[in-house]
Amino acid sequence: MSGKILLVDDEQEIADLIEVFLQNEQFQCFKYYTFQDAFSVIDSECFDLAIIDIMLPDGNGFTLCREIRKKYTYPIILLTSKTEGTDKVTGLSLGADDYVTKPFLPIELVARVKAHLRRVHDYDGKKISSNEMVTIAGLLLNKTSHECRLNGEQIKLTPTEFSILWLLCKNRGKVYSADELFQIIWGEKYFKNSRNTVMVQIRHIREKLNDIGEKPKFIKTIWGVGYIVE
């Protein structure tokens, strides 16, 4: 696996160590220690994934995440030194796909990078079959091309958002709990703040589909149980 990774962390020793591990896995790493240096390249390079520390000397990772999400859907992993869930929920609400709490093992971070990129690359196949497409009430999902259209209009979803919507639509009529969604999509054991993670991603999908209200058309909440596309 290869790809261009944007890495932003003002702790140079940590950034340098992450860079070594990424390069050992054949990734091309674009490393920056400040917000401004990273901000200056987000439009000049075509990145496959970003790793961004929340605390930067001249800004913060939240702002950088927000700026990236204005134009791009590639996965974003946030790094945080705080154990509270506030930073994590804030980051996810701005469009981040994942977060890692410091201190962490570089090999763990690289594993997450690979998992997110595999999710993206899974949509790069050449053949389209009936199993790779779903249509529901004007909503079309093409897993092969990672394409989402609503009444003919293209909807830009992040890989995580697409994965959640695809799972629910492909298994129409089946209720998934937040626990199940987290374990299937993130591939990790459910933990305390996972419910917030799932809720934020569901809200993003609804907003992009303009499906907000007491009676959503697509993803419906079964209170106390989970989420379903009927």
> SS3 sequence, 71-86?
CCCCCEEEEECCCCHH
pLDDT at 121: 67
What's 208's DSSP letter? H
Considering only CA atoms, give the Rg of the chain.
18
Under 8 Å between Cβ of 92 and 200: yes
Q: What is the mean pLDDT of the chain?
A: 85
So what's the pLDDT on residue 127? Answer: 36
Is the backbone peptide bond immediately before 216 cis, with ω within 30 degrees of 0? no
Q: Are strands 139-142 and 147-150 parallel, antiparallel or unpaired?
A: antiparallel
| Sequence-ordered list of residues with C-beta below 8 angstroms from that of 120, at least 6 positions apart, any chain | 48, 74, 75, 146, 159
The two domains 3-121 and 130-229 share their CATH topology (first three levels equal): no
Could you give the CA distance from residue 177 to residue 104 in angstroms, rounded to a whole number? 28
Pick among 3.40.30.10, 3.40.50.2300, 3.30.1130.10, 3.90.660.10: CATH of 3-121:
3.40.50.2300
pLDDT at 193: 61
DSSP conformation letters of 88-155: HHHHHHTT--EEEESS--HHHHHHHHHHHHHHHHTT--S---GGGEEEETTEEEETTTTEEEETTEE-
How high is the pLDDT of residue 218? 92
CATH 1.10.10.10 assigned to 130-229: yes
**Amino acid making up residue 192:** K
| pTM for the whole structure | 0.68
φ and ψ of 134, to 5 deg: -135, 135
Check residue 176 and report its DSSP letter: B
Q: How much of the chain, in percent, has pLDDT values that exceed 90?
A: 40
Q: What is the DSSP letter of 70?
A: T
- Quote the pLDDT of residue 85: 60
Q: What percent of the chain has pLDDT over 70?
A: 89
Structure tokens belonging to residue 123: 């949509």
H-helix or E-strand containing 212? none
The domain limits of the chain are 3-121, 130-229
